[in-house]
Structure 1
Amino acid sequence: MARDYSEIKAKLRGSITPVITPFKANHEIDFDKFAELIEFQLENGTHGISVTGTSGEPSSLTIEEREQVMEKAAKTINGRVPFVPGTGSTNYQETMRLTKKSEEIGADAAMVIVPYYNKPNQRALYKHFKTVADSVDIPIIIYNIPGRTAQNLHVDTLAKLNEDCPNIIGVKESNKDFEHVNRVLLKCGRDFLLFSGIELLCYPMLAIGGAGSVSATANVLPGKVAQMHDAWFEGDVETAQKLHYELMELNDVLFKDTNPAPVKAALGMMGKIEPVLRLPMDVPSEELQEEIQQTLEKYGIALQYA
């Protein structure tokens, strides 16, 4: 008998913050700061936590480090909110290992990215995700981000996966094609979980029936991002719209360079972390850092530096 995923689908709503992976000056993972970032999220009303997704620099981490980050997150969250680690890779065996690990540590779901660099065709993508889904009992949220993977998961492919794999329960769409995301719910059903990974589409996706967002901006202003979702789900459309536009300037500046470099710069200015990235990523230009600082000041965010 197939497992009933309705309970976890009901829980996976709202702002799921993709927490960054902080590094020390020597480029080792700073697990103490990482735990503090998670607590910062929970104190500000975030509805869920994701790690080792795009904002967590997974391609800069070893597989062992990704497992350590996942384990630390699970221990820190301790069931207080849903936990959805990113477990995908361009390598199939790594994806299998990490997805099974997420199940072992009690994650609520695993977020599996469309394999990047390889550019598999739609038939291969179907086979990849079905094989991963069939190997575990944990719910799967597919992560479609064509700008990073150079391949778009077609709606028909996603719909077939949803039909054939009961534990594929949703998708994070970092997809600027709003016609595409509308058709996801048309083809997959209104109970399929649709999350926005594009900051300016977080509110519009709620309006068409989306479940929430996985927004890098929530690393910096978790309270406001969560409040926008709360307002929408409470039927306060005016407040939700107001917060959508309030967040727009911050959203814009945090994506003037490749994520998560601007987010880490902002968190460094806030005294949360050392704004260190591993090569080939690097810190934003001095000009952009100045713009980030000015934007944070506009939002009334206290700056103290780590």
Structure 2
Amino acid sequence: MRYDEAKRKLRGSIAPIVTPFKQDYSMDLDKLKELIDWHVESGSHAISVTGTTGEPSSLTAAERITVMETAAKAVNGRVPFVPGTGSTNHDETVDLTKKAQEMGADAALVIVPYYNKPSQHALYKHFKTVADSVDIPLIVYNIPGRTATNLDVKTLARLSEDCPNIIGVKESNKDFEHINRVLLNCGRDFNLYSGIELLCYPMLAIGGAGHISATANVMPEKVAEIYNAWEEGDVKRAQDLHFELMPLNDVLFKDTNPAPLKAALGMMGKIEPVLRMPMDLPTEALQSEIREVLKTYTNVADQVVSK
């Protein structure tokens, strides 16, 4: 996929799928395939795995590759496939991104390295080296709340100019002024994706390309419809969906993602509600709150088990 074509194709709701585990903490690849089928049938515009929502730091590098390969085969070209290949380790990031290219991924999502707290100069060198190692499109992933480092707009603009395969950024950044300056400095044809649930609709209004929203795991059709409504010019419908989903967005982030999300999917019978340590499920009180919020949505209420 050439880069201009990728910018046009990689739009809408790119659903960041959880990594299902069994009760013994082994990966449940059959459930992963089922989730991907459900998302494609529900209208998600693209599929991503092994991003933050996929608990990549709880997976070995070999397990990440297995999840990516399983997902690529399950997607089978029905929609674009965008695995997360970033790591706190530079060489591992390069290797995983090369593996994504080998398995035919449409793009790779590469997170700002976490824990290390690299300088802006170091971030530029890291991302440029990754970009130079492959010729598939890359989407940079900026999530300062999880990485402790914010990718500066000027650094991103320099990368977008020097690396033609860096086609966009997932901004999980609550600073909306920063987000506006991304398009100002990188160009309005640069693909901007929201990673903040309450900014999915507002980002479309300034020219965003879509969203990579954890909430899509629970309501893939409605998260995708926000983008569809906007593209069709139905602003009121997009606004209505934005506010309709707000209670769900709020409760799914009362604990660290994907803990509430996996609890919700367990209540819906989609997966076993299991996370690998050091992550764990939310408290019983929060799980009860999640259950009650889910019951207010008619499209999932009948799936929710009482306990």
Tell me which interval the TM-score lies in, with the shorter structure as reference length: over 0.9
How much has 1:303 moved relative to structure 2? 1.3
Q: Which residue of 2 aligns with 1:209?
A: 207
In the alignment, which of 243, 246, 254 is matched to residue 245 of structure 1? 243
In the alignment, which of 95, 101, 104 is matched to residue 97 of structure 1? 95
How much has 1:305 moved relative to structure 2? 8.0
TM-score calculated relative to the size of structure 2: 0.98
Alpha-carbon distance in structure 2 between the residues aligned to 1:234 and 1:6? 22
SS at match of 1:59: helix
Check the 8 A contact 1:85/1:110 in 2, yes or no: yes
Percent identity (aligned): 72
SS at match of 1:183: helix
Alpha-carbon distance in structure 2 between the residues aligned to 1:186 and 1:93? 32
Q: Which residue of 1 aligns with 2:227?
A: 229
Alpha-carbon distance in structure 1 between the residues aligned to 2:187 and 2:77? 28
Counterpart AA for 2:103? I
Q: List alignment gaps of at least 5 residues for structure 1.
A: none
Alpha-carbon distance in structure 2 between the residues aligned to 1:22 and 1:188? 36
Q: Does 1:85 align with 2:86?
A: no
Q: Which residue of 2 aligns with 1:133?
A: 131
TM-score calculated relative to the size of structure 1: 0.98
Alpha-carbon distance in structure 1 between the residues aligned to 2:60 and 2:108? 18
Q: Which residue of 2 aligns with 1:184?
A: 182
Check the 8 A contact 1:271/1:305 in 2, yes or no: no
Q: Which residue of 2 aligns with 1:48?
A: 46
Q: Which residue of 1 aligns with 2:169?
A: 171
SS at match of 2:33: helix
Check the 8 A contact 1:174/1:197 in 2, yes or no: yes
Check the 8 A contact 1:162/1:169 in 2, yes or no: yes
- List 4+ stretches of structure 1 deviating above 4 A: none
Q: Does 1:71 align with 2:62?
A: no
How much has 1:9 moved relative to structure 2? 1.1
Alpha-carbon distance in structure 2 between the residues aligned to 1:82 and 1:233? 19
In the alignment, which of 284, 296, 300 is matched to residue 286 of structure 1? 284
Alpha-carbon distance in structure 2 between the residues aligned to 1:225 and 1:278? 27
Alpha-carbon distance in structure 2 between the residues aligned to 1:171 and 1:4? 17
* C-alpha RMSD over aligned residues: 1.0
